[in-house]
């Protein structure tokens, strides 16, 4: 059963690759989807980086060592 699943998965990937390679509309759709995903990923990373840039207050131990 696992062999059959792997075979079906491989055939599906090959079929999808052939479909994308031979169809202009599908190729454009894939490129657009990739661009959208990259834009969303960049926005998420920017938000995460902004959240990590909070100014850190000095702790009493650090103040005394100066």
- Domain membership of residue 32 (yes or no) is yes
In a domain, 26, yes or no: yes
| Dihedrals phi, psi of 53, to nearest 5 degrees | -95, 25
* Residue (of 33, 10, 30) closest to 22 by Cα position: 30
Residue 29, domain extent: 15-50
Distant-in-sequence, close-in-space partners of 21: CB < 8 Å, separation ≥ 6: 27
| pLDDT tens-digit readout, 6-62 | 999 999 999 988 888 888 888 898 899 999 999 999 999 999 888 887 655 555 565
Closest CA to 20 of 8, 33, 9, 7: 33
Identify whether 56 is part of a domain. no
Does 66 map to a domain?
no
**Residue 65 confidence (pLDDT) above 80:** no
pLDDT at 5: 95
41 falls within a domain: yes
Number of H helices, E strands in the chain: 3, 0
Task: Tell me how many domains the chain contains.
Answer: 1
């Amino acid at each position: 059963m696992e062999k059959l699943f792997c075979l079906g998965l491989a055939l599906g990937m090959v079929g999808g690759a052939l479909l994308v390679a031979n169809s202009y509309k599908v190729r454009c759709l894939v490129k657009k989807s990739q661009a959208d995903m990259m834009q969303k990923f960049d926005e998420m990373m920017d938000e995460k980086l902004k959240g990590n840039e909070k100014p850190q207050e000095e702790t009493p131990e650090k103040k005394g060592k100066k």
